[in-house]
Amino acid sequence: MNRSRHRVCGVLLAGGLARRMGGGDKCLRPLAGMPILQHILERVRPQVSCLMINANGDPARFAGFGLPIAADAVEGYAGPLAGVLTGMEWASKHAPVCDLILTVPSDAPFLPRDLVERLEERMIAEGADIACAGSGGRIHPPIALWPVSLAEELREAMTVEEIRKVDVWTARYKVAVADWPTEPVDPFFNANRPDDLAEAEKMMGAMA
């Protein structure tokens, strides 16, 4: 059940080129009998009020998931920050009841089932503008809660200042970090390469 104090729109980031995976959509690769994206949906859907996919190219390849698709709001494969902006602007137009978006990569099949809850707790406790996830001493900037109200500032940063790195932009704001343990598996493990898929299969067994 979604216990968030805010209304949150989930944004699945699938706008990259997946060069390290050999091209194509990483999130459509099979893992334990179903696409990686399906694993993510099962974990994220109960935590948010609505979901959309940020993906470039032909949206028909995602038709089976029954979710709205939006291409990057900034052209040129501008990275995760473009996906954040896309999610903010999509939510502002199509899900105006949502004041926050949750962005997650579409190649991370072990995302925590309490992701929104814990990010929101840290955001409120620290009076932060943004809350992102961390694990094993690392911060994962694309896995975060973002206020939809920052859309105009982000668009200006990307189009006028040509900012592309997440941490360069977020340095302007107070960012809270929620940490997760990495045992039995790192919940933010992502399948970037073909070898990672084999590792993910083993991790599935460790979680069983």
**Domain region containing 99:** 8-207
Structure tokens, 114: 């309490």
Average pLDDT over the chain reads: 91
* CATH classification of the domain holding 42: 3.90.550.10
| pLDDT number for residue 117 | 97
Structure tokens, 58: 């032909």
| Structural domains counted in the chain | 1
- Would 126 be classed as within a structural domain? yes
The total of other beta-carbon atoms located within 10 Å of residue 131's CB is 26
- Would 177 be classed as within a structural domain? yes
Check whether 139 has a pLDDT greater than 60: yes
- Would 2 be classed as within a structural domain? no
- Would 3 be classed as within a structural domain? no
Q: What percent of the chain has pLDDT over 90?
A: 76
Contacts of 127 (CB under 8 A, 6+ apart): 174
Three-class secondary structure of residue 13 per DSSP: strand
Q: How confident is the model at residue 18 (pLDDT cuts 50, 70, 90)?
A: very low
Is this prediction's pTM over 0.85? yes
Check whether 84 has a pLDDT greater than 70: yes
- Would 193 be classed as within a structural domain? yes
Question: 109: left (phi > 0), else alpha (psi -120 to 50), else beta?
Answer: alpha
N-to-C CA span, the chain? 22
- Would 86 be classed as within a structural domain? yes
- Would 44 be classed as within a structural domain? yes
Please name the helix (run of DSSP H) or strand (run of DSSP E) that holds residue 69, with its range, or none. strand 69-70
Q: How confident is the model at residue 4 (pLDDT cuts 50, 70, 90)?
A: low
Q: How confident is the model at residue 206 (pLDDT cuts 50, 70, 90)?
A: low
- Would 1 be classed as within a structural domain? no
Check whether 19 has a pLDDT greater than 90: no
